[in-house]
């Protein structure tokens, strides 16, 4: 809640005057709001975003000698102008289009076409809405401090939840299933259709939210079709870095809407294998009017390294390496972990799993029947010394340099049972995710301090992406042969690169649309694509602890300010009869200055606090502490910035007695 503003000034013949019997004028610094355009929060604290570095002189009272500049005076006049004369910004109502006509297939990407993650797309056909994927996005601590995840905006689906017939999950990665515990209730808890492994991963994640009702999950098989409400839905298998990945084809009277999910191709050289030709050939036989396909690796030319080559490389390393072998990889690389386990058994090695996510996913793979391992193959970490080093293979999380993951803890000698030796070989079976370069470099440096041998994707084929390069995406586009195309799943640079690649391969430009989140795309009679001018609500929802809601920019700015320049808390007791301080104010500083080394500044600050409170309350009856807080905040913020060139959040706590 914003602090109560000072009462309106009494009428005066002088324009914009602020005369009042109870409000003496006091000469003070230009307010934080005037300098930065900021506003007050519920503590009376103001966020500072100015970049003023001037050092104006003070008089004996600690106040600026010079009068405010012209720009500041204009702001002051605007702030004192009666509310009726100020410009008001009219809020534009959210856009919710009417349901489409029977001859229209409507596609609404709600997340995942401007970022990697947060995937969710609504398809509105035959009077039914189908939701493709319910993912989340991890967010950077610098951009949104304190936010756990970002979710797709659900306002459009909530508005139409009586027409939602199903949620269809393409595969089990968190950017496609992570939002389920938070979103399903909001959209009416429709049934979820997906394959077996994905259903087990959804169930496992649901265990983390025992108070959230379990969703109804219906298992489907690729190569089959189901009629859901008025719509026939076809499921087909796609290749990805996780088993049980699938694409979807929704049948309408005008033609099919095809959504691939994440994909790559199994291929030899640049020739897709027979099972790929068969699958995509079957999809392409239909009259397809719209295709949405993965764009994550569209900026890379040609074809990606096939996963089979990675398996062969890892198998050879497991067979030939002397000493202990430690493999760091993504826990979601089910197929790779399964093959590593099979190779370990084949060559008589014991496996130690380090990292909760790897342990969890091995259990899920066993439950799904994808991994069968002997009882004595996987051993606990404390048994590492019971076997010769040549017989030990450690599967660990942390190849992205996560501070508390297994690899980093071992590398920094923080692990209870495992320490690296010079005979150890480390395989980093992953690429560097953009944004993790510094943490991965830190991990590598710590590993090299242990004099171990390191093999990574730059020196050997130990990692393959789960997303097809541009050559694979063009091939899929040509096989599906849809009338209209929208690149999905990626940042704008990725979707634009995807569009450019298929256009260069012969697709007409006017059949391609590069979407933003919230766009409404109508395919009319299977022959015409119309994009609405307005977008449905698309700003992401934030999971912040136990709360879910829109990202409140005020809160994020406060957190960024606290992280950058800290806070300065003033605690003062004001006698309500006299307006004087009962005792010297207490000051608490965090992340701003070291108090013991700043006694002169603190002594001057206490004098200024005392004077500001007593001057602002002189003649005031009754005393308005909210008004005094605002004055004190502005005065102290200006003083601290001038003395230190820092802009801490100033939080006054005034106690009236």
Q: Considering the domain boundaries, does residue 26 fall inside one?
A: no
Distance CA 530, CA 528 (A): 6
Q: Mean pLDDT, to the nearest integer, of 337-362?
A: 93
Check if 467 is active-site.
Answer: yes
Residue 408 resides in a domain: yes
CATH number at residue 133: 3.60.15.10
The answer to whether residue 543 sits within a structural domain is: no
What are 627-646's pLDDT values in tens digits?
888 888 888 888 888 888 87
Same structural domain for residues 215 and 260? Answer: yes
17 within domain boundaries: no
- Residue 353 covered by a domain: yes
235 and 222 in contact (C-beta within 8 Å)?
Answer: yes
Residue 27 confidence (pLDDT): 37
Mean predicted lDDT score pLDDT of the chain: 83
> Which tokens sit at 550?
């829109």
Residue 346 and residue 440 share a domain: yes
Whether residues 312 and 297 share a domain: the answer is no
Peptide bond into 622 cis (omega under 30): yes
Compute the distance between CA of residue 328 and CA of residue 331 in angstroms, rounded to an integer. Answer: 9
| Boundary of a domain, candidates 456, 489, 508 | 456
Q: Cα dihedral angle (442, 492, 463, 401), rounded to 10 degrees?
A: 20
Q: Which residue in 644, 634, 651, 593 sits closest to 63, CA to CA? A: 634
Looking at the fold, whether 121 and 153 belong to one and the same domain comes out as yes
250 and 151 assigned to the same domain:
yes
* 163-200 confidence digits (pLDDT tens): 999 999 999 999 999 999 999 999 999 999 999 999 99
pLDDT, average across residues 448-460? 90
- Say whether both 438 and 470 belong to one domain: no
Backbone angles phi, psi at 466, to 5 degrees: -95, 5
Q: Taking the model in full, what pTM does it have?
A: 0.74
Is residue 81 pLDDT above 90, yes or no?
Answer: no
One domain, residues 345 and 378: yes
Do 314 and 285 sit in the same domain of this protein? no
Among 509, 525, 541, give the residue marking a domain's end.
525
Helix (H, G, I), strand (E, B) or coil at 376: coil
Summarize pLDDT for 539-553 with one digit per residue, the tens.
888 876 555 665 555
Model pLDDT, residue 279: 97
Which residue among the candidates 424, 467, 565, 634 is catalytic per the annotation?
467
CA 371 to CA 589: how far, in whole Å? 56
Give the H/E segment covering residue 524.
strand 521-524
- CA-CA distance, 253 to 526, in Å (whole number)? 9
Residues 65 and 190 in one domain: no
Element counts in the chain: helices (H) and strands (E)? 17, 28
Confidence at residue 89, expressed as pLDDT on a 0 to 100 scale:
54
Look at residue 72 and tell me whether its pLDDT is greater than 60. Answer: no
- Whether 545 maps to a domain, the answer reads no
State the Rg of the chain over Cα: 31
Residue 82: CATH number of its domain:
3.10.20.580
Residue 526 pLDDT exceeds 70: yes
Mean pLDDT lowest among 294-298, 494-498, 590-594: 590-594
What number of CA atoms fall less than 13 Å from residue 491's CA on the CB side? Answer: 4
Q: What is the mean pLDDT of residues 74-88?
A: 43
289 and 388 belong to one structural domain: no
316-340: average pLDDT? 92
Q: What mean pLDDT comes out for the span 279-292?
A: 97
pLDDT tens digit string along 401-448?
Answer: 888 888 899 999 889 899 999 899 999 998 887 667 888 899 999 999
**80 part of the active site:** no
Whether residue 477 is found in the same domain as residue 448: no
In this structure, what token pair is assigned to residue 409? 């803890």
The rounded distance, in Å, linking the Cα atoms of 498 and 298 is: 5
Q: What pLDDT, on a 0 to 100 scale, did the predictor assign at position 182?
A: 92
For 58-62, 112-116, 314-318, which range has the lowest pLDDT when averaged over its residues?
A: 58-62
Residue 339 lies in a domain: yes
- Looking at residue 582, its pLDDT comes to 85
117 with 265, same domain: the answer is yes
For residue 282, give the H/E element and its range: helix 274-285
Domain count across the chain: 3
263 near 242, Cβ under 8 Å?
A: no
> The CATH number of the domain where 398 resides is what?
3.40.50.10710
> Which residue out of 133, 175, 294, 634 is catalytically annotated?
294
Q: What is the pLDDT of residue 159?
A: 96
Neighbours of 380 (CB within 10 A): 10
pLDDT at 140: 58
pLDDT score at 253: 93
User: Cα dist. 42→438, 652, 657 in Å?
Assistant: 38, 11, 21
Provide the pLDDT confidence category of residue 2 given band limits of 50, 70 and 90.
Answer: very low
Question: By residue range, what is the domain housing residue 490?
Answer: 106-302+466-525
Calculate what percentage of the chain has a pLDDT beyond 90: 54
Q: Is residue 518 part of a domain?
A: yes
- Last residue of some domain: 488, 510, 525? 525
* Structure confidence at residue 97 (pLDDT): 95
| CB proximity list for 334: less than 8 A, separation 6 or greater | 197, 241, 242, 243, 361, 365, 370
- Among 374, 396, 362, 372, smallest CA distance to 200 is for 362
Q: Which residues pair with 547 in a beta bridge?
A: 544
């Amino acid at each position: 809640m914003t602090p109560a503003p000072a009462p309106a000034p009494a009428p005066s013949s002088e324009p914009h005057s602020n005369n009042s019997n109870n409000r003496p004028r006091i000469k003070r610094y230009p307010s934080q709001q005037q300098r930065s355009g900021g506003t007050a929060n519920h503590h009376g604290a103001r966020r500072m975003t100015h970049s003023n570095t001037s050092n104006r002189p003070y008089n004996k009272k600690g106040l600026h000698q010079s009068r405010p500049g012209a720009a500041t005076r204009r702001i002051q006049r605007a702030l004192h102008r009666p509310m009726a004369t100020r410009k008001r910004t009219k809020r534009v109502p959210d856009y919710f289009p009417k349901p489409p006509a029977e001859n229209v297939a409507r596609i609404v990407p709600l997340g995942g076409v401007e970022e990697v993650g947060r995937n969710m797309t609504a398809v509105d056909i035959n009077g039914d809405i189908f939701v493709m994927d319910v993912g989340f996005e991890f967010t950077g601590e610098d951009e949104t401090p304190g936010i756990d995840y970002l979710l797709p905006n659900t306002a459009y689906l909530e508005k139409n939840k009586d027409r939602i017939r199903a949620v269809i999950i393409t595969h089990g990665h968190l950017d496609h299933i992570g939002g389920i515990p938070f979103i399903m209730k909001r959209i009416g808890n429709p049934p979820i259709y997906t394959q077996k492994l994905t259903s087990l991963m959804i169930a496992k994640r649901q265990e983390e939210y025992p108070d959230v009702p379990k969703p109804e999950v219906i298992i489907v098989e690729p190569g089959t079709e189901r009629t859901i409400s008025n719509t026939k839905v076809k499921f087909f298998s796609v290749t990805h870095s996780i088993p049980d990945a699938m694409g979807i084809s929704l049948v309408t009277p005008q033609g099919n809407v095809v959504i691939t999910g994440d994909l790559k191709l199994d291929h030899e050289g640049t020739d897709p294998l027979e099972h790929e030709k068969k699958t995509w050939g079957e999809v392409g036989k239909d009259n397809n009017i719209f295709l949405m396909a993965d764009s994550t690796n569209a900026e890379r030319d040609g074809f990606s390294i096939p996963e089979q080559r990675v398996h062969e490389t890892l198998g050879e390393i497991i067979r030939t390496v002397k000493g202990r072998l430690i493999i760091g990889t993504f826990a979601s690389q089910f197929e790779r972990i399964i093959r590593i386990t099979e190779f370990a058994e084949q060559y008589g090695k014991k496996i130690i799993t380090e990292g909760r996510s790897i342990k969890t996913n091995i259990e899920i793979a066993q439950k799904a029947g994808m991994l069968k391992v002997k009882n004595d193959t996987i051993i606990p970490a404390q048994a590492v010394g019971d076997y010769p080093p040549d017989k030990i293979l450690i599967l660990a999380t942390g190849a992205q340099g996560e501070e508390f993951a297994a690899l980093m803890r071992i590398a920094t000698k923080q692990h209870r049972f495992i320490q690296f030796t010079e005979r150890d070989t480390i395989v980093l079976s992953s690429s560097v995710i953009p944004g993790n370069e510094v943490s991965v470099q830190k991990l590598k440096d710590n590993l090299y301090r242990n004099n171990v041998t390191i093999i990574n994707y730059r020196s050997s084929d130990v990692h393959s992406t789960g997303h097809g390069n541009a050559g694979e995406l063009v091939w899929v586009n040509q096989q599906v042969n849809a009338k209209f195309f929208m690149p999905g799943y990626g940042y704008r640079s990725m979707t634009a690169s995807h569009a450019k690649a298929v256009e260069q391969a012969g697709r007409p430009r006017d059949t391609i649309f590069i979407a933003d989140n919230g766009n409404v795309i109508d395919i009319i009679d299977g022959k015409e694509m119309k994009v609405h001018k307005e977008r449905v609500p698309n700003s992401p929802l934030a999971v912040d602890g136990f709360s879910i809601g829109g990202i409140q920019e005020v809160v994020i700015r406060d957190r960024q300010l606290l992280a950058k320049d800290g806070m300065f808390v003033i605690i003062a007791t004001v006698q309500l009869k006299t307006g004087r301080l009962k005792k010297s104010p207490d000051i608490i500083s965090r992340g701003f200055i070291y108090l013991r080394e700043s006694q002169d500044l603190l002594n001057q600050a206490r004098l200024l606090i005392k004077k500001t409170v007593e001057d602002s309350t002189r003649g005031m009856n009754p005393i308005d502490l909210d008004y005094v807080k605002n004055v004190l905040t502005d005065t102290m913020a200006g003083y601290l910035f001038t003395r230190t060139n820092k802009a801490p959040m100033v939080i006054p706590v005034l106690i009236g007695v």
